[in-house]
Structure formats: C-alpha cells, structure tokens
Amino acid sequence: MAKKPKNAISPLRSEDYPEWYQQVIRAADLAETSPVRGCMVIKPWGYAIWENIQKVLDKRFKETGHKNAYFPLFIPTSFIQKESEHVEGFAKECAVVTHSRLEADENGKLVPAGELEEPLIVRPTSETIIGEMFSKWVQSYRDLPLLINQWANVVRWEMRTRLFLRTSEFLWQEGHTAHETKEEAIEETEKMLAVYKEFAEEYMAMPVLTGEKTEGERFPGANITYCIEAFMQDGKALQAGTSHFLGQNFAKSCDIKFQSEEGKEEHAWTTSWGVSTRLVGGMIMTHSDDDGLVLPPRLAPAHVVILPVIPKEINRAAVIDYCKQLKADLEAQHYEGESVRVELDERDLRGGEKMWSWIKQGIPVYMEVGPRDIENNAVFLGTRDKSPKERQNLSKEDAISSISEILDGIQKNLFHRARTLRDDHTFEFETAKEIYKFFDKEKSSNGFTKAGFVSTYWAGTLETENNLKSRHKVTVRCIPLNQNNKEGVCPFTGVKTKTKAIIGKSY
Amino acid sequence: MAKKPKNAISPLRSEDYPEWYQQVIRAADLAETSPVRGCMVIKPWGYAIWENIQKVLDKRFKETGHKNAYFPLFIPTSFIQKESEHVEGFAKECAVVTHSRLEADENGKLVPAGELEEPLIVRPTSETIIGEMFSKWVQSYRDLPLLINQWANVVRWEMRTRLFLRTSEFLWQEGHTAHETKEEAIEETEKMLAVYKEFAEEYMAMPVLTGEKTEGERFPGANITYCIEAFMQDGKALQAGTSHFLGQNFAKSCDIKFQSEEGKEEHAWTTSWGVSTRLVGGMIMTHSDDDGLVLPPRLAPAHVVILPVIPKEINRAAVIDYCKQLKADLEAQHYEGESVRVELDERDLRGGEKMWSWIKQGIPVYMEVGPRDIENNAVFLGTRDKSPKERQNLSKEDAISSISEILDGIQKNLFHRARTLRDDHTFEFETAKEIYKFFDKEKSSNGFTKAGFVSTYWAGTLETENNLKSRHKVTVRCIPLNQNNKEGVCPFTGVKTKTKAIIGKSY
C-alpha cells in the first residue's frame, strides 16, 4: 500500500476551519465556484446527496398531504412591493431582468435591447407570486387547506458567498399553504418544523434545536418564524430550515379571501417553509474530519466501495471476479428498504491513493480485497466514522450479512458524536459580562471548536439584539420550543422571565 | 346519475382545435397562465405527470451511464457570444439581467439599481456555461467520456405562447457529454435519441419518427440534430425531443481539450440532448378527446378512481367501508412493478358531476360502487380509452385481479390508435404541385385531423426549405433514419435521390 498522508485535508480544522471546509468540498468533488459570480456548480457526487435529500423530504411532504406544483421564475416588481416588510427584506439583493433580447452594438458587442415595461426580479422566494395564484384558487372554505410545495432554484444576490452555505443561486423547496383558521395555520407551521427536525436528525445525523426566531431574525413578512438550528464543529450555529406562520399578511396583500362556512368573507391564514442546498453545507460541517467528507449512510450516494488489491497482473482476473461476486452479494442486501449501493473501483491507481480518494469522498464503508483475503475468504473493512487504522478483517459472510447493521451503526454513531459535541459546547453564565467575554475571546476548547452556544434567560428587545450583533457579533439563534418553565433573570435587561434563548455566532 | 353533457369539452376538436386544447388543460386542471407574461403555472395534476416523466427518464439516463449535476442559471453575455451560430439562435429572445437590486425612486416606486458590469442572460440552454466547466474538468483521455445531465428551468422569450407547448420559461433536462472521438459522440447522440423514442412510445404511447433535421431546422451550433417527431391529432407535427451532435464546435469555442492516449492535444467531441415539459403538451394532443384529457396509464398520477354511489344517507357507511376495502385490495396489486395508484373520491358531489370530473382529468379507470353493486359483489367499471357508454359490470374479484391487465390494455390501445391515425394521415404525392395543394387546402379528413404528413423524396437546399416555409407554411420535419434505399426524384428540385423526408406543418 502507498504511503498515506498524515491527514488527507490541509489545512486541518484546528488551523483554518473556513479553508478546511473549502478543501473538503474540493477533495470530495462536491461542487465548485463558477465563472458566474456567486453561483456554484454542483458536481455529480454533491448533486447525488441533494437528490437523496429531495427524495426523503418529498416523500414526507406528500405523506403530510402536500402536492407539488411549479410557479414562474420571475416576479413582477409590483408584486414584490405588495408586502412592505417583505420587499425591504429582498429588494436589496435581487437579480433584476430589464430586457428581453441582446443586440450587437456598432462594435459587435452584445448589449441589452427590448426593454421591458415592468422590470422582473428572479424569485428570491415565492410568497408573492404564489399568493397571487392562491387568490384565484381559493374561493370557499371548501378550497382550504391548500397545501402546495415547489422544488425550485432561487436567487439572492449575495456579496460574500460560500459553497452550499451562501450562494447567489441555490436550490430549495418552498412549501406554501393557506388555511381557514389561525390555529390550523400555526399547526401546519409546527408540523413542517417537526418534519425538518426529524429529517435533520434521522437522516442527516445532525442534531438540531427547534425554536422560534426573535424579531431581529424573523422572515420579512412573517408573524412567527420557527427554525431548526444546528451546531457546526467550529462552534457556530447554522440555520438549517425555517417554517413561517405568515398570519394574514400575505393573504391581505395578495387578496386571498374565502367564503366561510357561515357565509362570511374572510382572509386566509398562510404559511411557508423551506430548506435548501445549504443542508449539504451543514452536513459537511457537522461530520467531516481532517481526512475529508464524512457522509451519513442514509444520504450517501454509495454505501460501500470495494477496492480490489492486485499485487501482480496474474492475480487480476481472480480478484476482480471475487469482487464482482461480493458486489452482487452486497447489493442483494437491504438497507432502509432499498438495495445496498455498492461501487467497485477498478481504476488503475495505487491502492493507497484509491482508498484515500474514497475516504475523502466520505464513503461509509470501504472493503479491500486482495489475493490473501480471497484465500481466507475475508475482506479488510474500514468504516468512515473511525480511523483507517481501525480497519479489521471480517469473514466475507459476516461482511455481507451484517452490512445493514454496520451502516446503521455508523449513522447512529455520527448522530451521537455530533450531539455530544454540541452539548459539551453549550454553556450557561450568570452575567452578561461573562457571556461577552466568552464570545469575544473565541475560546478554543478542543482544537477546532471555538466558542459554542450560550443558553441564557432572555427578555431582550430588538435593541438588545442589535447591540449583541454589532458589538459582539452574536445573535439570538432561537427561543427553544422546549422550555423548563423556571424563572430567572435576563442578564442583558435585568428583567425576570421564564424564557430561555440560545445565543451564538452564526453562518 | 346526473345528466351528462353531450361532450365535456367545448369547443370540440373538429370545431376549434387550439381552443379545444386550452379547454382540455383547464378542465383537467393541469396548468394555467400566470401574471408573468409567457410563464405558466403547472398545477398539481400537471406537475405529477411531469414528475412521472422525470422519474422514468432519470432512471434511463442513469442506466446509460449519465450523472446529474447542476450549473448556474445565469450565463455571462460574453459566453453566449462564443459560438457564432449559437448566439444568433438565442440572442433574439432571452431574459437579460442587468441590475442586482431594486431601490425606491422619489415616488416610492421600485426601480433597478446596482448595474452589473456585464449583463447576464437567463440560460436558454447551457452549452456555453457547461462547456466552460468541461474545459476545466477534461485534461486527459482518461477524463472521457464525460456524461452529464441537468434537470433545470430555462427561459426563451417567446412572443406567442401556448401552455406546455411554447412558454417563456419551461422545465427540461439537458444532457451534455464530451467524447474522445467523433464516432463515439455520434453513437451517444443516437443512443439518447433511441432512449427518447422508447420513452415516447412505451410510456407516453405516442408514436414518433426518428430522423435528422435539415439545415434550416438544426440546433444553432450543431453539426447534426436528430429528433423525435410526433403526429398530433390535428395533423400537425410536434418536435418532441432533440439530440445534437455538436462536432468540435463548442469544444473549440469553450476550449475543451484533452491529451490523447498518444500524448497529442485534441479537442473533444460533444453532444447535447433534451426533452421538456412540451412532452406534456404532446401527450395531451396525441390522446385527448372531446371529453377531455386521456392519460397513458404508465404516466398517470392515479390509475383508478373509486366513486361511491350513495343514494340514501343510510347507505353511506356500508358503501364507504366497501370502497375503502376495494381501494386497499387494488393497491395491493402491482402495475409496472409498483403498487396500483388508487383514489377514493368521497366528495359530496352528484354522481354524474363527480364521474365527469375524473373523465376530464383523464383517469385511466373509474369504478362506481353503490348498494346494488355491493349486493352483487360487483363494480361498474369504465376505462378512459372507451366511451362512458361502454362501462360494464365486473365482479369485484375480477376487477381487482385484472387491474394490471386492464391498464396495460389501455396503454396499448392508446398507442395503436395514435399510430393508426398517423399512418392513415401520411401521404405520398408525385408532384410538388400536389403537395402544395394538399397543404394549402388544409384537407379535413376525419373531422378534426387536418392535413397530415407528406413523405417525399428530398434533395432540397436551404432555399427550398425557406420557400416551403414562407409560401406554404410547412417545413421538413425530418429525414427519417429508416430509409428504404430506393431511388426516386425530389419533386421540388427534380434531383434524383435515395433520401426521403417527412414534410408537415408544425407546432
């Protein structure tokens, strides 16, 4: 076997976390920047992860009664202007279409022509255009609830972009629903938040807090914004999904009215909720290590790679045949109700290089098979949640029959490891001074996890939030839904409260 | 049962085919126009058909070695300008993004601000941006073939739009591949054309001709454009999918070079191929009738609807229970390797109204069940390929056990019916005069099928094509791949040739 580098990724997490993140993406061939400012190219391995995310969520959305539809990419300027908070939130950074063709100027250079009467913006989110359609579709209480989801691309013109986490164009799903009553709309908002939490924890193996956003962090136009908030290995928070109770704000601005069972004309109550390709970034930062990407098996494009070891050309046919049979046997096994996904890597690379290429890509299980293994009817098996040094010999039969169990073990281990890291880095302090000190110092605890979450009593205002943000670069990440209902004192305002909040730095 | 209208759709196909088409879409609730000019909203029933199309094709693309990826929505003006024919084809009708935010003017009206240094166009197709990425990914012959597919939205600013057939924004897939040799690239182009043909005929039940486009109809920048060409019920042709051999045109303009096995630097050979939501339009116009949408079972969002007939309130519980059990029994059956998709319509509508709503939506099989049917252990079953007058009583057991066979029968019947219609409306003429007369007269043959296809020897030039187009509003739809190799005379040029072409009016 070829020599392996001490660690496959440089720099290490402890040296430069943001740069480590970029290098993990690069080494795993997930995505890259494009020549179009702020827009990324999602490469096959990264896109396959997104497809797996879509598949699971789409099924859950349909199980909870939602139907998919598709709405226009463009939104007329006059639409976005309908809801005053909404327009303020999105007008600052949007792609504006002003012309309908290109024409050559006198130098042969293409310039915009055919100016539009009304400029269009590329959707940053679709409340206004979907609201417009809902206003036509909803007439009577019998038309409610209206439960729609859309898988789409959206654009928000970001100044500083980072692959998956913040890009000008990204892929997402946006659910939009309309209801008869406030209670039903809030129930929907909470139900979809629960779907997100379950998905994040069960599939991404990424523990999340569910909570409510404070005024300063709310979606422009929402009455309540719920979120799932995840903990990244560098101690920062990632808002991984949001579910908004929009009250009657959009129903009023888009004129979504219905005749109630009692014959009264009322405005509907609407919700919207979404997760995006940002989830892939969260997954990377939750699990990956200094050797590269670590994938939770339930979302991995491939579960197992078989690596034939061919010391001499004379062994080739026998080794390849054995590996092909092993692949077929593994594929006959089931994981999560589907065939185990197996790759056989026959590339003509040195063994070490080949193995490390898969480790960097986050393959959950890798099996080396050489002539000696064949003699012993064995495989040499490594799992991505452990060091390659912990590889072990397993009989071929055991490797095959226990593959589903092995994958399940990795999935659980990743979740527990991530939850432990988060819990170990969630702190409580008595005074505001201690909290400021904590965040200002960027306390380094285990080499790469800086800072962390602070759990504190909270009775702050928008002003308190702005102060925290501008002076200490931290925000209230959420007011967790689980509160223990004991009273305490808000260290920022001195006000007694039963509400606790999670404060942290965020992506 | 309530009285049924003589036909559910007005006007009839024979009266006004284009308007009939709009009304079928409306009655089936497939899609509607949006307030954004030229952009459509695809409603749940229409989107579910598109999802079924995607599912089948995506599987076939993966089976043929392609991987999905995602590329930016925007293309810099300078990119689109790289290939001269390409830019001519697309610059005339594209959405141009010129600004990155909106600002309120003195009257509070939002106006574009933050002008971009270089305008971007919303992709009308992605050869240039994908070519740019390919040029980075391809270094050596070992990197080839590169087989990529993208599912995406694209925009072409159309002046006259029609739901599904021609909209400014549409959904599609675009395959993009790069190869070492010309032969391999042509083979890929033909392979994907065969995938399209198989899909159109086996899944959409829509017979297609496979052929090559003439110069006047070729994709801007392609050396060869292959197509699948379908026959609509009004006698017009629909280009339903294309597969382009791009030669080295884009490899040269995008600089996709590789080092060959012999160490020589060479330009790659590329292809691209795509089908879009236009397929849904083609499916509608191939099968639907004067009662509305007719869906091929393999793509239908639901296969069967159960319609409880409840003459008196006292029967309700028994009928509903029976129907629920019937639903479960049907769902336990398999069609095409998956559970049969069954809807139980418990809406409080009159029986006739309810049944006709499903007929208009194209449900392949509908079963009425009332107290008398329960007594007789029967269902009253209709299939959408036949008239509702041909409904029949079937024992419940037979209805359940033969459901897959019934669906299969509908699928085959639709295909054969469509193929017969096309073959019956494909004509041969000796002289150009006869051909002109045929098309100029808009011969009405069976009430709604006007004109048709003309199969003729062809040795025409671009001028001949332009003449046909401007004077007679017809185009060469394709040079079919299947040629009988007999010699004849091109009626337009008098030149002897073994090549035959299909001429027709087109969408």
Inter-chain touch B97–A169, beta carbons under 8 Å = no
Packed helices A462-472 and A432-441: angle between N→C axes, nearest 10 degrees: 40
CA distance B242 to B227: 4
CA distance B463 to B415: 36
Question: How near does any CA of chain A get to the CA of B499, in Å?
Answer: 38
Place of tokens 């509702």: B388
Give the residue range(s) of CATH 3.30.110.30 domains in chain A: 425-504
Question: How near does any CA of chain A get to the CA of B480, in Å?
Answer: 34
DSSP symbol at A203: I
Count Cβ atoms below 10 Å from residue A448 Cβ, excluding itself.
18
Inter-chain touch A102–B77, beta carbons under 8 Å = yes
Count Cβ atoms below 10 Å from residue B300 Cβ, excluding itself.
26
CA distance B95 to A122: 10
- Phi then psi for residue A66, to 5 deg, are -90, 150
* pLDDT confidence of residue A440: 84
Q: Are A223 and A249 in contact (CB under 8 A)?
A: yes
Nearest to A77 among B80, B110, B148 (CB): B110
Side-chain half-sphere of A200: how many Cα atoms within 13 Å? 31
Nearest to B70 among A42, A94, A95 (CB): A42
- Phi then psi for residue A389, to 5 deg, are -65, -20
Inter-chain touch A73–B99, beta carbons under 8 Å = no
Give the residue range(s) of CATH 3.40.50.800 domains in chain A: 304-406
Give the residue range(s) of CATH 3.30.110.30 domains in chain B: 426-504
Inter-chain touch B73–A44, beta carbons under 8 Å = no
Q: What is the pLDDT of residues B101-151, one digit of tens each?
A: 999 999 888 999 999 999 999 999 999 999 999 999 999 999 999 999 999
Encoding tokens for residue A404? 């589903």
Inter-chain touch A47–B68, beta carbons under 8 Å = yes
Inter-chain touch A34–B119, beta carbons under 8 Å = no
In CATH, which superfamily holds the domain spanning A304-406?
Anticodon-binding domain (3.40.50.800)
Tell me which chain A residue has its CA closest to the CA of residue B44: A69
The dihedral through the CA atoms of A37, A39, A41, A46 has a sign that is positive
Question: How near does any CA of chain B get to the CA of A321, in Å?
Answer: 22
Inter-chain touch A69–B132, beta carbons under 8 Å = no
| CA A195 centroid distance within chain | 14
Q: Are B449 and B423 in contact (CB under 8 A)?
A: no
Question: How near does any CA of chain B get to the CA of A157, in Å?
Answer: 6
Give the residue range(s) of CATH 3.30.930.10 domains in chain B: 17-287
Inter-chain touch A36–B96, beta carbons under 8 Å = no
Encoding tokens for residue B454? 């003309």
Closest CA to B221 of B124, B137, B97: B124
- Evaluate if residue B4 carries a pLDDT over 60: no
Encoding tokens for residue A68? 């998919």
Tell me which chain A residue has its CA closest to the CA of residue B40: A72
What string of DSSP letters covers B363-374? -SEEEEE-HHHH
- B265 to B82, B97, B140, B257, B261: CA distances (angstroms): 21, 37, 9, 7, 10
DSSP H helical ranges for A267-337: 278-287, 316-331
Encoding tokens for residue B261? 């096995």
User: Which positions in chain A touch B92 (Cβ < 8 Å)?
Assistant: 101
Inter-chain touch B148–A44, beta carbons under 8 Å = yes
What string of DSSP letters covers A446-492? SSS-BS-EEEEE----HHHHHHHHHHHS-EEEEEES------EE-TT
What is the radius of gyration, based on Cα positions, of chain A? Answer: 26
Nearest to A101 among B94, B101, B171 (CB): B94
Tell me which chain B residue has its CA closest to the CA of residue A39: B72
Inter-chain touch B68–A75, beta carbons under 8 Å = no
Inter-chain touch B39–A74, beta carbons under 8 Å = yes
CB-based burial label for B243 (10 Å; 0-12, 13-18, 19+) = buried
CA distance B475 to B485: 22
- Phi then psi for residue B369, to 5 deg, are -135, 115
pLDDT confidence tier of residue B447, bands split at 50, 70 and 90: low
Nearest to A35 among B39, B76, B92 (CB): B76
Tell me which chain B residue has its CA closest to the CA of residue A80: B110
Question: How near does any CA of chain A get to the CA of B460, in Å?
Answer: 32
DSSP H helical ranges for B307-461: 316-331, 351-361, 371-375, 396-401, 403-424, 432-441
Inter-chain touch B129–A34, beta carbons under 8 Å = yes
Tell me which chain B residue has its CA closest to the CA of residue A72: B39
Nearest to A35 among B34, B132, B157 (CB): B132
Long-range contacts of B414-417 (CB under 8 A, 24+ apart): B414/B205, B414/B286, B414/B287, B414/B294, B414/B296, B414/B385, B415/B201, B415/B205, B415/B206, B415/B207, B415/B296, B417/B287, B417/B385
Domain covering B426-504 assigned CATH 3.50.50.60 in the classification:
no
Q: Are B301 and B341 in contact (CB under 8 A)?
A: yes
User: Which positions in chain A touch B129 (Cβ < 8 Å)?
Assistant: 34-36
User: Which positions in chain B touch A77 (Cβ < 8 Å)?
Assistant: 102, 110
Inter-chain touch A81–B110, beta carbons under 8 Å = yes
Tell me which chain B residue has its CA closest to the CA of residue A77: B110
Inter-chain touch B129–A36, beta carbons under 8 Å = yes
In CATH, which superfamily holds the domain spanning B17-287?
Bira Bifunctional Protein; Domain 2 (3.30.930.10)
Mean pLDDT, residues B426-455 taken together:
81
CA distance A153 to B424: 45
Tell me which chain A residue has its CA closest to the CA of residue B143: A347
Encoding tokens for residue A364? 């959950």
Nearest to B101 among A133, A148, A157 (CB): A157
**Apex B178 CA angle, B176 and B184, nearest 5:** 115
The span from the first CA to the last CA of chain A, in angstroms, equals 40
Encoding tokens for residue A111? 């310039």
Tell me which chain A residue has its CA closest to the CA of residue B277: A70
Inter-chain touch A96–B96, beta carbons under 8 Å = no
**Apex B153 CA angle, A67 and B204, nearest 5:** 65
* pLDDT confidence of residue B451: 80
What is the SS3 assignment for A69? coil
User: Which positions in chain A touch B97 (Cβ < 8 Å)?
Assistant: 95-98, 122
Inter-chain touch B96–A101, beta carbons under 8 Å = yes
Inter-chain touch B75–A41, beta carbons under 8 Å = no
Closest CA to A503 of A443, A451, A462: A451
Strands B334-335 and B224-231: unpaired
DSSP H helical ranges for A103-201: 127-137, 182-198
CA distance B244 to B271: 5
CA distance B504 to B455: 9
User: Which positions in chain A touch B39 (Cβ < 8 Å)?
Assistant: 72-74
Inter-chain touch A100–B80, beta carbons under 8 Å = no
CATH number of B297-413: 3.40.50.800
Inter-chain touch B169–A73, beta carbons under 8 Å = yes
Question: How near does any CA of chain B get to the CA of A110, in Å?
Answer: 7
Nearest to A100 among B47, B50, B93 (CB): B93
Give the residue range(s) of CATH 3.40.50.800 domains in chain B: 297-413
Tell me which chain A residue has its CA closest to the CA of residue B42: A70
Inter-chain touch A98–B80, beta carbons under 8 Å = no
Encoding tokens for residue B312? 């008196």
CA distance B457 to B471: 19
Nearest to A96 among B39, B69, B99 (CB): B99
Q: Are A144 and A178 in contact (CB under 8 A)?
A: yes
What is the SS3 assignment for A368? strand
Inter-chain touch A120–B36, beta carbons under 8 Å = yes
What is the SS3 assignment for B106? coil
What tens-digit pLDDT sequence spans chain A (507 residues)?
455 568 999 999 999 999 999 999 999 999 999 999 899 999 999 999 999 999 999 999 999 999 999 999 999 999 988 888 888 889 999 999 999 999 999 988 899 999 999 999 999 999 999 999 999 999 999 999 999 999 999 999 988 899 999 999 999 999 999 999 999 999 999 999 999 999 999 999 999 999 999 998 999 999 999 999 999 999 999 999 999 999 999 999 999 999 999 999 999 999 999 999 999 999 999 999 999 999 999 999 999 999 999 999 999 999 999 999 999 999 999 999 999 999 999 998 887 899 999 999 999 999 999 999 999 999 999 999 999 999 999 999 999 999 999 999 999 999 999 999 999 999 999 899 999 999 987 644 455 667 899 999 999 999 999 999 999 999 999 999 999 889 999 999 999 999 999 999 999
DSSP H helical ranges for B64-205: 77-80, 84-90, 127-137, 182-198
Which phi-psi region, left, alpha or beta, contains residue A212 (left: φ > 0; alpha: ψ -120 to 50)? beta
CA distance A279 to A53: 9
Q: What is the pLDDT of residues B269-313, one digit of tens each?
A: 999 999 999 999 999 999 999 999 999 999 999 999 999 999 999
Encoding tokens for residue A116? 């539009």
Q: What is the pLDDT of residues B20-77, one digit of tens each?
A: 999 999 999 999 999 998 999 999 999 999 999 999 999 999 999 999 999 999 999 9
Question: From the candidates B42, B51, B66, B70, which should be mutated to test the interface with A, based on the most A CB atoms within 10 A?
Answer: B70
Size (chain A), residues: 507
Q: Are A261 and A279 in contact (CB under 8 A)?
A: no
**Apex A158 CA angle, A87 and A502, nearest 5:** 80
Which CATH number fits the domain A425-504, given the four candidates 3.30.110.30, 3.50.50.60, 3.40.50.1860, 3.30.450.20?
A: 3.30.110.30
Side-chain half-sphere of A378: how many Cα atoms within 13 Å? 11
Closest CA to A246 of A131, A393, A407, A413: A131
Question: How near does any CA of chain A get to the CA of B144, in Å?
Answer: 14
Annotate B192-242 with three-state secondary structure: HHHHHHHHHHHHCCCCEEEEECCHHHCCCCCCEEEEEEEECCCCCEEEEEE
Encoding tokens for residue A499? 């509400």
What is the SS3 assignment for A88? helix
Distant-in-sequence, close-in-space partners of B69: CB < 8 Å, separation ≥ 6 = A41, A42, A43, A44, A47, B148, B149, B150
Per DSSP (E only), the strands in A365-412 are 365-369, 378-383, 392-395
